[in-house]
Amino acid sequence: MTDDEFDAALIAAAFTLGADVGWRHVSAAAAAQRAGLDLATARDRFPHRGMILGKFGKFADVHALTGALTEGPVRERLFDILLRRFDFLQTHRDGVLALVRAVPLEPAWGAYLAKATLDSMGWMLEGAGVSARGIQGEIRKNGLLAVWAWGMRAWLRDDSPDLTMTMAAVDTALARADQIASRFDRDPAAAASEPFIDPDPSAAVAPEPTIAPVDDEPSDLA
């Protein structure tokens, strides 16, 4: 078993446990036991619980980046890469939904995952051929984060087999991002004051999970 295969098996077991018994009871040791994996290896590769979320995010990014569109309009490339990332979340849907319910009770997770997802959006931009470097890159990352969050709101309620609602939400959010970007070129002050997407009371759902890797995991996620 390769390291990636070990990690994938442990993460899958962790998200299954999260769905079955709640994330308060999830640990690398419990997930390893659930999957029949070596505890010593689990201790080495997952020194604290935050590593489960970090490596889950890494796998989500790799899935999105592998085989993503490299030609065509930027909007189509971004749509493709974000939907590929949602496809990965879909394979662990019950565990992710359980994580959404757990995040409000774990403030450190919320801060960790928010920063992580912003970093992940940089990888999504680069994968679509858009620079995420410098000040402009930070602006783009935050804009794509807003697109991801809007898509996530739909995904949380989307029970269709082909994620129709999620695809529509991502498409709408990308269109809105295009509008803001074009207005920003003409009048930065006016564009900056606009809401990213008009509020939709019917879209109110639980807080969005923001799952992606970061380099430094906070110690209080142990």
- Average pLDDT of the residues of the chain: 84
- pLDDT tier, 206 (very low <50, low <70, confident <90, very high otherwise): very low
- pLDDT tier, 112 (very low <50, low <70, confident <90, very high otherwise): confident
Residue 180 exposure: Cα atoms within 13 Å on the Cβ side: 22
Residues in Cβ contact with 133 at an 8 Å cutoff, skipping those fewer than 6 apart: none
- Stretch 77-83: mean pLDDT, rounded? 97
Structure-model confidence comparison of residues 216 and 139, the more confident one: 139
Is residue 113 within 8 A of residue 145, CB to CB? The reply is no
Tell me, what's the pLDDT at 219?
A: 40
* Whether pLDDT at 140 is above 70: yes
Find the helix or strand (DSSP H, E) in which 60 lies. helix 50-65
Helix 3-21 vs helix 50-65: angle between axes, to the nearest 10 degrees?
Answer: 120
- pLDDT tier, 111 (very low <50, low <70, confident <90, very high otherwise): confident
- pLDDT tier, 99 (very low <50, low <70, confident <90, very high otherwise): very high
